[in-house]
Structure 1
Amino acid sequence: MKAKIFKFTIGLFAIVFMGCEKMIEINSPLNETPSAGVYTTDKIALSALSGMYGRFSQTSFQTTGLPVYTSLMADDLRYLATVTAPQEYNTNTYTALTASAEPFTEFYQVIYRTNAIIEGLTTYAGTSAAINKQLIAEAKLMRGYAYFILVNFYGEVPLVLQTDANVTAYLPRETVANIYKQIISDLIDAKANLRSDYSFTNGDRLGVNKFTAAALLARVYLYTGNYSMAEENSTEVIQATNLYTMVSTATMGTALFVKNSSESIWQLPQPVSATNQYTVEGSVFLPSSNTVAALFYQLQPSFLSIFTGTDRRRTLWMRDLTIAGNQYVVPAKFKYRTHSEALAANVTESQIILRLAEQYLIRAEARVRIGTNISGALTDLNVTRLRADIPALTTTNPSVLLDEIALEYRKEFFCEQAFRWFNLKRTGQADVVLPLLKPTWKPEAKFYPIAQSIINNNPNLIK
């Protein structure tokens, strides 16, 4: 039964909530609340969790926006076609927004489902204590993650913690500090109540555990400047060697971005169908034919220039193309653009939301900023460098180390999970770096605007 959580059938949950979730878009308030019937048995309650993950796996900004659009918004990727929305990400102009062209609506739909689960399991009896504890913890982790994405896109957003549209429909924006406070609270609770392994999903890393919460907490603490807690939580994950190990140099091209890789802490369920074996990134980045018409994205030459000749990420995670006599380089962390291609290769690839390499870089940065374990920071930084087959650094200069950590983030996590975009903003470098590449850059482009159609239905969102 547990494995079925991630098959994402429509089930009772979708029937009960398909109308309710529109409330969270702040544009169509309804007066419905979660039905007690959803929480009368463990089996039906698990269908609610399935619905939450199903909505998450269908969120286009998770599958496409974070790896693709934010790479355009930053300085790693270039758009080659003329479709309006990607061009606006490329130029950071964002003028033609609709409610379906940004993460606000999609992530609040996910948040609605998390709130419904938490409310339902808190209000109604019927589920076992173990299921109640697990599902509330998973919902809180998901809510914390969704708000992390929203606050880093928009800054201040409404803090919605219940399903009653009479309360939530016209909520104003909450401060960034208070949103982070809620994120941390949710993740601490999730960490305390989740299992220490993947037994709830039969070993499948599409599920979450206490180390998933710890890994996300480490990132959140880094972003909020609590470096001692960032170090503490990243260390917990790094020390869980029974679950997590770095993929080796020899297999980093084939064994990392696949389902249940040893480096994966949390992976996205397959989009569209649980039986799919390819990723949206693969289908977007890899052209369907060796023609200019089929090529939509290429890596920026300025980005390619940061890789030394021995860095295996340049050869294993990118693909060089010659089209009509011109040279292009595209991201190729994922090798297959269709299910049939992956099926023929007998490989299942999965988007990685959290992986172990980040925890080493989080701990490296935290240690440098604390200033009491520079040698440990250097050791952590060299983990990904040595795996990529480039020489270890030996400097202990804190300023140089911070620059090298930022560079290593960029090389290790290009076109993954908004790393470059979020890091440019959190370190204050967006207004320094991006104007050099983009004549259209303006400081206000660091935050994504909420679509006018959403603001029209909730004037309290106007800043």
Structure 2
Amino acid sequence: MKNRNFLAIILITCTTLMFSCEKFITLEPPKNSLVPATVFKNDDLATAAVLGIYQQMASSGYASGDLKSISTICGLTADEFIGYDPGSQPFFKNLVLSDNLTVLQIWSSIYKRIYDTNAILDGLGKGTGVTPAVSAGLRGEALFIRAFNYYYLCNLFGPIPLQLITDYQANSKVARTPVNEIYTQIILDLKAAEELLADQYITTERVRPNKSAVQALLSRVYLFLGDWQNAEHYAALVIGKTGTYQLPALEQVFLKNSTESIWQLMPPANANTPAGSFLILTTAPTFLSLSNDFVQSAFELNDKRKTAWIKNLVSNGITYYYPFKYRVQNSSAVSEYTMVLRLGEQYLIRSEARAQLNNLPGAIADLDQIRERAGLPLIKDISPIINKEDLIALIQKERRAELFTEWGDRWFDLKRTGKLTSVLQPFKPGWKAHYALLPIPAAEINANSNISQNTGY
């Protein structure tokens, strides 16, 4: 029954949002209540089920760019945002409790999307009416989405239940799985997806993952695991596709289908990404603003990103800063989608991997690609014999300036490099090391006696 409910809801969602779904693929609306056997009887219905997952991700908070998204929450827990309202304060002050409703929403929403992908994979594997080529592509997309969601779950919460089936009762009793085993499954899913997906996008837009999206996520996963050779390898595969991916001007990076985008999420019909409407300030902030310290310390002199991607508002003599990567606050003309994976990150991943592998000239060349667009002096000119340690520190500084407020990159970078406490303790009164992980939602522990709480909560 759980499986049937999911598939009916996901297809009804896609039918309701048909004008948006038409941007993916033209579909006839389902005419009857759907059950698994009918969902997978042809290509269009199976495709609609997968498209429904993207629709849910784009509108479910954690992936949407709104005030309860991973980008916002991690920007608050790190040193990018200042929180003002009761919903933001616990994250800004790192005083999140296990009954926090936003934490529960993130946990529940991600697991719902994982359940969705498990249901898709289960349905496609039962010998259906879906043609082999379409089935392979949809399976690749589902595996990618599952890996993507597990990546964020384990980085936010640590060990988590690994659920790969659609048996609701069995899933409700799964204990926490060690992070290394979660990463093993992530890599298995991504490598399988890499074999199934093509380099070409299935539509004219970049809103359904292709092989490059898989390779981009693999490069990031290997970076976090300290597997420098594979991180370099997969980033190089994406960077090498110069006919598809280029670094545009700063003002064009976050446009829908920009040449830098590897994968984006399409907002609901006739809307731009929520990030602009929530983050652009027109009055003194009531929810959040950029940290003054971040604005003053993250950028070198004359860095064009500071002027292109950050704006300010003066209210009652106080200057407030806000991110301006997304520039549309309210317009029915759609020009911005939510950026998920982009080329700039791939250059920074390969730069760091090359530096760790002692290929300093190669690392400098990649880093200079990012610095040149930002209008900064090139390292090859000003410091060609920089040592490995200083170069890696510079790469980390560039990541902070380039990827700020994007998908928690700053928070996760501080964690993976072991700098979370040393960087945040001076700014966060009462900081404790266990804040590196969010608490497991109390409701989940109450429902599953096999799940334990994270240390310190």
Instruction: Mark yes or no: TM-score above 0.5.
Output: yes
Give the Cα–Cα distance (whole angstroms) in 1 for the partners of residues 32 and 223 of structure 2.
Answer: 36
CA contact (8 A) 2:313 2:320 kept: yes
Deviation at 1:12, TM superposition (A): 5.2
- Taking structure 1 as reference, are residues 11 and 167 closer, same or farther at Cα in structure 2, changes over 3 Å only? farther
Give the Cα–Cα distance (whole angstroms) in 1 for the partners of residues 376 and 221 of structure 2.
Answer: 29
Amino acid at match of 1:77: F
Give the Cα–Cα distance (whole angstroms) in 1 for the partners of residues 32 and 222 of structure 2.
Answer: 35
* Corresponding residue number in structure 2 for 1:303: 294
CA contact (8 A) 2:63 2:70 kept: yes
Residues 192-216 of structure 1 deviation map (CA, whole Å, 9 limit, x = unaligned): 1101111x12x21011110110000
Residues 136-177 of structure 1 deviation map (CA, whole Å, 9 limit, x = unaligned): 000000000000010100110010001011321110010101
* Corresponding residue number in structure 1 for 2:8: none
Partner-residue secondary structure (3-state), 2:300:
coil
Give the Cα–Cα distance (whole angstroms) in 1 for the partners of residues 112 and 289 of structure 2.
Answer: 32
* Corresponding residue number in structure 2 for 1:319: 311
CA contact (8 A) 2:160 2:177 kept: yes
* Corresponding residue number in structure 1 for 2:106: 103
* Corresponding residue number in structure 1 for 2:171: 168
- Taking structure 1 as reference, are residues 129 and 10 closer, same or farther at Cα in structure 2, changes over 3 Å only? closer
CA contact (8 A) 1:154 1:450 kept: yes
Deviation at 1:230, TM superposition (A): 0.6
1:74 aligned to which of 75, 78, 102: 78
CA contact (8 A) 2:218 2:231 kept: yes
* Corresponding residue number in structure 2 for 1:193: 196
Query: What does 1:178-327 correspond to in 2, within 5 Å?
Result: 178-198=181-201, 200-201=202-203, 203-247=204-248, 251-253=249-251, 255-270=252-267, 273-276=268-271, 278-287=272-281, 289=282, 291-292=283-284, 294-306=285-297, 307-327=299-319
CA contact (8 A) 2:404 2:410 kept: yes
2:407 aligned to which of 397, 417, 421: 417
CA contact (8 A) 2:245 2:262 kept: yes
- Taking structure 1 as reference, are residues 368 and 10 closer, same or farther at Cα in structure 2, changes over 3 Å only? farther
CA contact (8 A) 2:75 2:405 kept: yes
Structure 1 unaligned segments of length 5 or more: list them. 17-33
- Tell whether 2:91 aligns with 1:89: yes
Amino acid at match of 2:314: T
CA contact (8 A) 2:88 2:287 kept: no
Partner-residue secondary structure (3-state), 2:79:
coil
CA contact (8 A) 2:88 2:288 kept: no
Residues 85-141 of structure 1 deviation map (CA, whole Å, 9 limit, x = unaligned): 310010111124137644210001110110011000001321100111000000000
* Corresponding residue number in structure 1 for 2:150: 147
* Corresponding residue number in structure 2 for 1:30: none
Amino acid at match of 1:385: R
Deviation at 1:274, TM superposition (A): 2.6
Residues 335-362 of structure 1 deviation map (CA, whole Å, 9 limit, x = unaligned): 111134xx2xxx5111110000000110
Query: What does 1:378-457 correspond to in 2, within 5 Å?
Result: 378-393=364-379, 394=383, 395-457=385-447
* Corresponding residue number in structure 1 for 2:57: 56
Give the Cα–Cα distance (whole angstroms) in 1 for the partners of residues 52 and 130 of structure 2.
Answer: 17
Amino acid at match of 2:250: M
* Corresponding residue number in structure 2 for 1:352: 339
* Corresponding residue number in structure 2 for 1:29: none
Partner-residue secondary structure (3-state), 2:311:
strand
- Taking structure 1 as reference, are residues 449 and 8 closer, same or farther at Cα in structure 2, changes over 3 Å only? farther
* Corresponding residue number in structure 2 for 1:27: none
* Corresponding residue number in structure 2 for 1:363: 350
Give the Cα–Cα distance (whole angstroms) in 1 for the partners of residues 50 and 353 of structure 2.
Answer: 34
Q: What number of residue pairs does the alignment pair up?
A: 426
- Taking structure 1 as reference, are residues 236 and 301 closer, same or farther at Cα in structure 2, changes over 3 Å only? same
Deviation at 1:324, TM superposition (A): 1.3
* Corresponding residue number in structure 2 for 1:128: 131
Partner-residue secondary structure (3-state), 2:188:
helix
- Taking structure 1 as reference, are residues 437 and 13 closer, same or farther at Cα in structure 2, changes over 3 Å only? farther
Q: Percent identity?
A: 35
Give the Cα–Cα distance (whole angstroms) in 2 for the partners of residues 101 and 8 of structure 1.
Answer: 35
Deviation at 1:8, TM superposition (A): 11
* Corresponding residue number in structure 2 for 1:377: 363
Deviation at 1:62, TM superposition (A): 1.2
Give the Cα–Cα distance (whole angstroms) in 2 for the partners of residues 9 and 320 of structure 1.
Answer: 44
Give the Cα–Cα distance (whole angstroms) in 1 for the partners of residues 85 and 57 of structure 2.
Answer: 29
Partner-residue secondary structure (3-state), 1:60:
coil
Give the Cα–Cα distance (whole angstroms) in 2 for the partners of residues 398 and 13 of structure 1.
Answer: 62
Deviation at 1:440, TM superposition (A): 2.7
* Corresponding residue number in structure 2 for 1:31: none
Partner-residue secondary structure (3-state), 1:328:
strand
CA contact (8 A) 2:90 2:96 kept: yes
Partner-residue secondary structure (3-state), 1:140:
helix
CA contact (8 A) 1:121 1:132 kept: yes
Residues 256-304 of structure 1 deviation map (CA, whole Å, 9 limit, x = unaligned): 111000000000111xx2321x2211111112x3x32x54322212212
Residues 54-96 of structure 1 deviation map (CA, whole Å, 9 limit, x = unaligned): 22112201123222111010001111x232x310010111124
- Taking structure 1 as reference, are residues 151 and 420 closer, same or farther at Cα in structure 2, changes over 3 Å only? same
Partner-residue secondary structure (3-state), 1:177:
helix
- Tell whether 2:359 aligns with 1:339: no
User: Higher mean Cα deviation, 45-54 or 213-222?
Assistant: 45-54
